[in-house]
Chain A
Amino acid sequence: MSSTAAKETVSCTVDGIAFEVPKGTRMIDAAARTGVDIPHYCYHPGLSAPAQCRMCLVEVEGAPKLQPACTAEVQDGNVILTASENALKAREGVLEFLLVNHPLDCPVCDQSGECKLQDYTAAEGRPMGRLAEPKRIIGVDDFGGDVLFHGDRCVMCTRCVRFMREVAQDERLAVVQRGDKAVIDTFFGEGLEGNIWADNVVDICPVGALVSKDFLHKARAWDLDRTPSICPNCTQGCNITLQVRDNQVMRLKPRPNAEVNGHWMCDFGRLNYQWVNRTGRIEAPLVREDGKLVPMSWSDTLLRLANAARGQSTGVRSVVSPYAANEDLGAVRRLADALGGGSGVFRVESGEEVVLPGFPQLALRSDRAANVRGAELLGFSRAGDSTGMGGLEEAESFDGVILVLGDDLEDASADFGQRSKLFIYVGHVLGGAARNADFVLPSTTFAEMEGSFTNVAGRVQRFWPAIQVPGMSRPAWQILGVLLSGIIDIPAPARPGDAFATLGDLSPAFGGMRFEELGAEGQPLEYSRR
């Protein structure tokens, strides 16, 4: 839609509902505004529309033939009938043809339950097939990377081919052969291997022809609980849904956000979720007593910790994780300020930046953690090398208060924190140098809490809790907020929005933003100063 035409509007009627749409709107999008979902296969809002599947045929009063709603633009005065007798008959015919060679593998097909062929056949297809001839059999092909191809299930919509051509701009798939022998195939042996955007073809394939090897047979679509979230694996902050079964994250799927990731996400982020499911988490607060770490209730732990911390004025050295939420990082900052101030560092793994050519706002960013920007804005500085190691020297030998949030301290020396007056460890797992801590406070990951990340472009985006917290773990903003209220007499934040509201005092970039107004798609930092 060109921006000059966007101002003009045309009026139309879809299934009896009259309304106006901008000139140049496709019928399928106009219908969507009245809540009518016109069946379609080849059309995808992120790709070109070849109008080749003929699944979206609708009747337009006065037009001699049925129109493909995916390319036909609404003309002034159009009366569109999406479910007239002719339209339904045409679509039933399309479905019957698609099922001619379809294996009806649904019981073993990974797409079952979220398959457009199932949905449309159940809604509009013939109750029984009429085909007596044997079906053509193609079989399974490994397309490389995470992608597996079941040729028999393909409906030849060519979305996958167009994605690789138009968006990934790395033509690796093509339609070969013609007629009923037509099949999607890769060029030579390399397949999709090595293209980090390849798994998006699994998302856009409307049927079970392209499936993910990682997710193969793992869960049914109807077993999954879906929670909106943000990909934690690079500073781009792709909008995603966390799909969970039995309290385990099973897969990540991109969630459309035109400002951040369009409809896409990269394979690096998509397949890097196992750490969220890791077991062996710290389940209770631990306090050092006679040289040993002893589990204790939250109230006892925080009372003791507040007593130990009150009056400390030698300053704080903190090591934070760039996977932590804005709210968590803000709480660390405030606590450090209350205990005499001091510097803080974060360590982040980095690698090559990979841009998605057809949607260049989106790239796998070189910093491989979601909240690097938030950490920088809240006054933490980068330390260590590109593997996320090193940079602990200053904290290691510090003799005041050491506060670690979320960093596993894998490479820290065995006597990390031994010289400190007070070593507080807030994190997920107890290993290595974390065992030297005087207080170990179990905190939640992004998947277990509500909070926000700030992405590389300065967009603040919310995520929601998808899985249950292990044991007594709590979000770090809550733990540290209660602790702070015990040290200096201020109210503790009750909700993540309260913790977020205090960020404006720490960094003017957050000033005036309200957590509740971030919505599901986030807001840029500048928004408050519009």
Chain B
Amino acid sequence: MARRRKDKEMAANVRLMKRPEREASYLRATLKGVALTFRHMVNPHKVTMQYPEEKWALSPRWRGTHVMEQHEDGRPKCVACGLCPAICPANCIRLVPGEDDQGNRYPVVYEIDEFRCIFCGMCQEVCPVEAIHVGQHYENSEYTRDNFVYDLDRLMSQKQPSTLLWDPSDPASE
């Protein structure tokens, strides 16, 4: 042990503590730990989550991969106004507008590159028809990067609940 060594063996300027044997012993600390272990054996307190069978509940304001809302007949609610691609700071939304058979403006192509998305939620905020939403969802894994480019079908088939960007009863967060 250090204090039994000759002083001259030590590097310069190292001050050796002189403590009584009683304090330097590990025994007290060990017993303290063992006591805690026994307490938990008697009174179990579980912290491990059995993922993926169990999952954390997410905050309603959690922003994850997108959900495209749809009409009852399965058409996307998006009217291809072009605002979300314009506001997206990551420039990850691709939109090609067109006209459907009923003469309505609709997105011929609507794709979001979820890999480039920074989940700011601005697309949801800007959408005038409440079509595109970020969602309460966090499990994203794919075998290829291309699979992270979600097309309209994929965005419409996402099942997670949409994010609430603000509390409806307190829109200004006051």
Contact = CB atoms under 8 A, between A and B. Distances in A.
The interface centre, meaning the residue of A108, A218, A219, A223 with most chain B CB atoms within 10 A of its CB, is A108
A216 B103 CA distance: 11
Given A107-B129, A108-B104, A108-B105, A220 B79 contact: no
Interface string B85-111: 010000000000111000111000000
B128 interface: yes
Contact of B79 (A108, A216, A219): A108
Given A112-B81, A217-B80, A222-B86, A107 B128 contact: yes
A107 B97 contact: no
Interface magnitude class on chain A: 10 to 19
Interface string B108-144: 0000000000000000000011000000000000000
A106 interface: yes
B58 interface: no
Nearest to B127: A107
A216 B104 CA distance: 11
A472 B97 CA distance: 31
Contacts of B97: 217-219
B91 to A, nearest CB: 12
A218 B95 CA distance: 11
A220 B82 contact: yes
Interface residues of B, number: 14
Interface string A196-223: 0000000000000000000011111011
B128 A106 contact: yes
A108 B81 contact: yes
Contacts of A222: 82, 86
The interface centre, meaning the residue of B103, B105, B128 with most chain A CB atoms within 10 A of its CB, is B105
Contacts of B103: 140
Contacts of B82: 112, 220, 222-223
Contacts of B79: 107-108
B87 to A, nearest CB: 11
Nearest to B128: A107
B128 A220 contact: no
Interface in A340-355: none
A217 B128 CA distance: 17
B86 A220 contact: yes
A112 B79 CA distance: 13
A404 to B, nearest CB: 37
Given A217-B105, A220-B86, A222-B86, A106 B81 contact: yes
Interface string A99-116: 000000011100010000
B35 interface: no
B83 interface: yes
Contacts of B129: 107
A223 B97 CA distance: 12
Contacts of A223: 82, 86
Contacts of A107: 79, 81, 83, 105, 128-129
Interface of B: 79-83, 86, 97-99, 103-105, 128-129
Given A216-B99, A220-B86, 11 more contacts: A107-B83, A107-B105, A108-B79, A108-B81, A108-B104, A140-B103, A217-B97, A217-B98, A218-B97, A220-B82, A223-B86
22 contacts: A106-B81, A106-B128, A107-B81, A107-B128, A107-B129, A108-B79, A108-B80, A108-B81, A108-B104, A112-B81, A112-B82, A140-B103, A217-B80, A217-B97, A217-B98, A217-B99, A217-B105, A218-B97, A219-B97, A220-B82, A220-B86, A222-B86
Counting from the closest, the 7 A-B pairs by CB-CB distance are A107-B81, A220-B82, A108-B105, A107-B128, A217-B97, A108-B79, A107-B79
